[in-house]
Structure 1
Amino acid sequence: MADQILHARDFGELCALHGYMPEEHVVLTKDGYLLGLHRISSKKGQQNSRPGISTGKPVVYLHHGLLMNSEVWVCLTDAERALPFVLVEQGFDVWLGNNRGNKYSKKSIHHGPNSTKFWDFSIDDFAWHDIPDSIQYILDITKAPKLSYVGFSQGTAQAFAALSIHPQLNEKINVFIALAPALSPAGLSASIVDGLMKSSPTLMFLFFGRKSILSSATMWQSILYPPIFAKVIDVSLIWMFNWHNRNITPSQKIAAYAHLYSFASTKSVVHWFQIMRNGAFLMYDDEVMSPVVRTSVSSYRPARFPTKNIATPIVLLYGDRDSLVDIDAMMSQLPEHTEARRLHSYEHIDILWGKDVDRDVIPEVLDALKRYCEDKDKLSGIVNGVKRTGDGTETDGLSDSF
C-alpha cells in the first residue's frame, strides 16, 4: 500500500486505493481565485448517484497546513488512521479545502500563476476570502445550517483569523477543532535562520522571490530515491523544528512525504516570520516593506486579529512535544470557552500520520464533533464516547492516555 500511495497522482487516486469515490468542486472567491474542493459523502465501496446535492448528513470541513494540500488527509497506509475516511463511515458528509496557489487551486480569473500578482497573498487573504467563501459554497450545496471545522497547523490559524474578523461566520460553524494549532509560535529551532528571518522577514523575498516558495521541491522528489527523500525531509524537520517524527513509521513516511509539499506564496511564509518576530497573531504588515522610522513605542502598531472575539466553540488538540505550540501563550489569546487537550509524546506532523492516531487523536475529534453536532441521530459508531463494535459490544471510544 505504501508504494501505491507514493505513486498516486492525485486526491482521487489516493481515495480509490482505500475504496472511496470523491467528488471535485470549484469555488470562486470574491477576489477571483478558483479553489479546488474535495468531497467524500459515501461510505467505502459506495458512490453518490447524485453528486453536488445535499445528503442530509452532518457536514465536516477539513483544511490542511502550510505548504500542503488536501492529499495530506488521505495519504495514510491504513484507512482507519485517515480522519476523512473514519468520518465518512461515522455518517458525516466530508469536505476538504485547498488554499489558493496550491496544486488544486492554481488559477485566478485575474492573473496567471506565472504572474507575481497571482502570488501576492498572505494569511489575511485566506481569512478574508478562502475560508469563508469555501464554507459558504459548502453550506449552499449541502443545505446544512452549519458545519464543523477541523484544521491542521496553518489550517487552524486561517480559521482563528477568519472567525475573528467575520462575526457572521461564527454562526455557520458549530465547533472548531484545531489539530496542532498555530497562532503565534515562538520560532524555529534553527537559531541562525530564526534570528535572521525575525530581524528582517522580508529577506525571504530576496532568497525565494515573490512567487511560490520552494517550488524546486517537486523536482528533488522526482529524482531522489524515496527512502533518501524521506531522510532529507526528516533531517530538515529536525534542524528547523526539532521534530523527530518517531511516531510515524518508515513506510508511512515514504508514502506520505511524497504528498507533503504543495505550492504556497513566499508572502505567506514572510507573514509567519512577522508573527514570530512580534509574538502576536498579526495581520500582514505592509509597512515593513519600506524604511519607516519609528520614533516611539506607541507610534506604530500592526493590526492584530481579534481572536478573543471568536464565539464558535474551540477544541485544541496539541502535542506536548510540538516546538511550535506554547499552549499558555495561545490560550491567553483565545476566548475563555476554549478547550485544550494534550496529546502525550506527539509533535506536529504525527498528529496527522502517527501510527496510533486511530487511538489517540481520532477518538478525541469524534468526541468533540458528537458533542456539538446538531444531528447526532444521523451518526453511527461513536455514541456518548462509546465505540459500538460489529458484534454489538461496547468499548471506550477514547484513549486512556489523556
Structure 2
Amino acid sequence: MFMSSGLFLLKNLSFFIAYRLVDSGYDVWLGNARGNLYSRNHTTLSPEEPEFWKFSWHEMGIYDLPATIDYILNTTGQSRLFYVGHSMGGTMLHVLLSVKPEYNAKMRLVIGLAPGVFYNHFSSLPTISGIRSWPVLKELLRATERYELLPYSEPTIALLYYLCSNSTVQMAACEMLVEETFGKTDGLNKSEIPLLAAMALGGNSAFTTDHFVQLIKSGKFQQFDFGPEENQQRYRSSTPPEYNLKMVTAPVAIHYGQTDKLVSDQDSINLSKVLPNVAEVRRVPSEFFNHLDFISHKRVNQLLYDHVVKSMELY
C-alpha cells in the first residue's frame, strides 16, 4: 500500500522472485502504485495540488493496470502475461478483471500473495487503532486539502532507520510492532528491520486508505463510497456497487500465511470460494508466516517462490 517496487530489488532481503524469474528467462516488469515515489507524474496536475491525489485503488485497477499490461504486451509482442500481486497488488487486479473482464484473456496465471479483497477476519491491532482514529484524520486532511499520506522523505526514513537499529530495546520494540501489525513470524531477520522500516514509506493517497477503511468496515468488496447523494449521481444507487468477482475468469493461484493479521488465512480461503477459476489455494507451509513475510521471510524462496516458479511452468 505504501511501499514501492524498490523492495523487489533488495538483494540483501530474501525476496528473490524478480531475480529468479529473470534467470529463468522471463521478462520482469515491476509496477508502482499511483502516488508512490516512482509514480508522481501527471500531464496537467502537480503533486502539490489536491486534485492530483483524488484516486484510490479503484483508479489503479481500471486505468493504471490496463495501461501497464497493454504497454508490456505491445512491447514484448506477447499476448498474455503472468501477474504476481502482493496485498494491494491483488486488490487492484481483482478490480480490473471484474470491471474490464476482457483483460482475463491477457492473463496466463494470476498469482495472489495474500490478495487484499476480503477483510472479515482482520486482526491487526495497530491498524484497527488507526481505523478508529481515521474519521478525525480524514476531516483534518479535508480541511487542509493535503491528501498525500506517508510520502517518501529522507529525514523520516533516516529517523525510522535510527529508531529500529540504535539499541537492543528499540529493535525489540520495532520487532513487536511488526508482529502486532502483520502477525507472528518465524522468519524475521532482526538485522533487516531497519532496512524494511526505511523502505516502508513510498507514499500514497488518503483516498486509497479511505477505500480500504471502507472495505474493512463494510465487509464488502465494493467501489468507493462518495456518500448517498454523489453515489446516486455516479452509480444510480445510494450505496456503491460491489465488484462482481464472478467475472474474474482468469486462473488464479492464492497463497496465504497462517498468521497473517491483515489478510487472514480465512479471508483468502473465502476469496477462493467466490472466484470461478481457482488454480490453487495454498497455505505457505510455515506455522508462523505473516503479511510481511511474502517480502521479508528469510526462507521465502524455499517456502513459497520455488513453488511459484514451478507452477508458472505449467502455464
TM-score, normalised on structure 2? 0.85
Specify whether residues 368 and 346 from structure 1 end up closer, same or farther in structure 2 by C-alpha distance, changes over 3 A only.
Answer: same
Residue number in structure 2 paired with 1:222 = 158
Residue number in structure 2 paired with 1:156 = 90
Q: Which runs of 5+ in 1 are unaligned?
A: 1-65, 293-298, 373-402
Matches of 2:159 and 2:247 in 1, distance apart?
A: 48
Specify whether residues 72 and 337 from structure 1 end up closer, same or farther in structure 2 by C-alpha distance, changes over 3 A only.
Answer: same
1:327 deviates by 2.7
Specify whether residues 180 and 291 from structure 1 end up closer, same or farther in structure 2 by C-alpha distance, changes over 3 A only.
Answer: closer
Residue number in structure 2 paired with 1:11 = none
Residue number in structure 1 paired with 2:60 = 126
1:242 deviates by 5.1
SS at match of 1:315: strand
Whether 1:177 aligns to 2:120 is: no
Instruction: From 268, 288, 291, give the equivalent of 1:348.
Output: 291
Instruction: From 19, 22, 36, give the equivalent of 1:88.
Output: 22
Residue number in structure 2 paired with 1:333 = 274
Whether 1:142 aligns to 2:76 is: yes
Q: Which residues in structure 2 correspond to 1:1-400 (within 5 Å)?
A: 66-77=1-12, 81-186=15-120, 187-190=122-125, 194=128, 197=131, 202-208=135-141, 210-215=146-151, 218-224=154-160, 225=162, 227-228=165-166, 233-239=174-180, 241=181, 243-287=183-227, 300-323=238-261, 324-325=263-264, 326-343=267-284, 344=286, 345-372=288-315
Specify whether residues 204 and 248 from structure 1 end up closer, same or farther in structure 2 by C-alpha distance, changes over 3 A only.
Answer: same
| Native 8 Å contact 1:314 1:337 kept in 2 | yes
Matches of 1:270 and 1:83 in 2, distance apart?
A: 31
Matches of 1:98 and 1:254 in 2, distance apart?
A: 22
Specify whether residues 223 and 347 from structure 1 end up closer, same or farther in structure 2 by C-alpha distance, changes over 3 A only.
Answer: closer
Return the letter of the residue paired with 2:314: R
Task: Among all aligned residue pairs of Structure 1 and Structure 2, give the percentage whose two residues are the same amino acid.
Answer: 26
SS at match of 1:148: strand
SS at match of 2:28: strand
1:290 deviates by 8.0
| Native 8 Å contact 1:156 1:181 kept in 2 | yes
SS at match of 2:210: helix
SS at match of 2:260: coil
Matches of 1:227 and 1:118 in 2, distance apart?
A: 35
| Native 8 Å contact 2:222 2:243 kept in 1 | yes
SS at match of 1:361: helix
SS at match of 2:90: helix
Specify whether residues 205 and 188 from structure 1 end up closer, same or farther in structure 2 by C-alpha distance, changes over 3 A only.
Answer: farther
What is the number of equivalent residue pairs in this alignment?
297
| Native 8 Å contact 1:88 1:94 kept in 2 | yes
Alpha-carbon RMSD: 2.7
1:85-128 CA distances to partner (integer Å, 9 max, x unpaired)? Answer: 01101111111011111111111112100111000001110111
| Native 8 Å contact 2:57 2:92 kept in 1 | yes
TM-score, normalised on structure 1? 0.67
Return the letter of the residue paired with 2:9: V
1:195 deviates by 7.1
Residue number in structure 2 paired with 1:25 = none
SS at match of 2:60: helix
Specify whether residues 169 and 202 from structure 1 end up closer, same or farther in structure 2 by C-alpha distance, changes over 3 A only.
Answer: farther
Specify whether residues 234 and 206 from structure 1 end up closer, same or farther in structure 2 by C-alpha distance, changes over 3 A only.
Answer: farther
1:330-388 CA distances to partner (integer Å, 9 max, x unpaired)? Answer: 2233225352100122111111111101101111211221111xxxxxxxxxxxxxxxx
Higher relative CO (CA 8 A, sep ≥ 6), structure 1 or 2? Answer: 2
| Native 8 Å contact 2:246 2:275 kept in 1 | yes
1:266 deviates by 0.7
| Native 8 Å contact 1:77 1:255 kept in 2 | no
Matches of 2:198 and 2:130 in 1, distance apart?
A: 29
Matches of 2:229 and 2:299 in 1, distance apart?
A: 45
More strand by share: 1
1:274 deviates by 0.4
More helix by share: 2
Specify whether residues 350 and 152 from structure 1 end up closer, same or farther in structure 2 by C-alpha distance, changes over 3 A only.
Answer: same
1:254-308 CA distances to partner (integer Å, 9 max, x unpaired)? Answer: 333322220100110110010011111111111169899xxxxxx8432111112
